């Protein structure tokens, strides 16, 4: 944070708890983002796997029909 953005608080402990809250929020947001990315990646992999299985079944069906 740029010093000019830090609000002037008369009590330093207030400032500490404020920065702590901000830090906690920031970490929570990061964790949420990370989990969301992981879920999306998992979902993408599952969909890819399903597509490959479908493709495989279609090919087998074609072969058995011939």
* pLDDT tens, position by position, 2-60: 656 666 656 667 778 889 999 999 999 999 999 999 999 999 999 999 988 888 777 77
60 within some domain: yes
4 within some domain: no
pLDDT at res. 53: 84
43 within some domain: yes
pLDDT at res. 13: 77
Number of domains in the chain: 1
40 within some domain: yes
Quickly state the pLDDT bin for 62 (edges 50, 70, 90): confident
pLDDT at res. 32: 98
8 within some domain: no
11 within some domain: no
58 within some domain: yes
Name the token pair of 49: 């796997």
Q: State how far the alpha carbon of 23 is from the alpha carbons of 1, 49, 58, in Å.
A: 12, 39, 52
- Residue 65, pLDDT above cutoff 80: no
């Amino acid at each position: 944070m740029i010093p000019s953005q830090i609000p002037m608080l008369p009590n330093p402990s207030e400032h500490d708890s404020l920065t702590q809250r901000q830090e906690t929020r920031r970490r929570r947001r990061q964790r949420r983002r990370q989990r969301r990315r992981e879920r999306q990646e998992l979902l993408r992999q599952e969909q890819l796997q399903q597509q490959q299985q479908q493709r495989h079944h279609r090919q087998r069906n074609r072969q058995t029909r011939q």
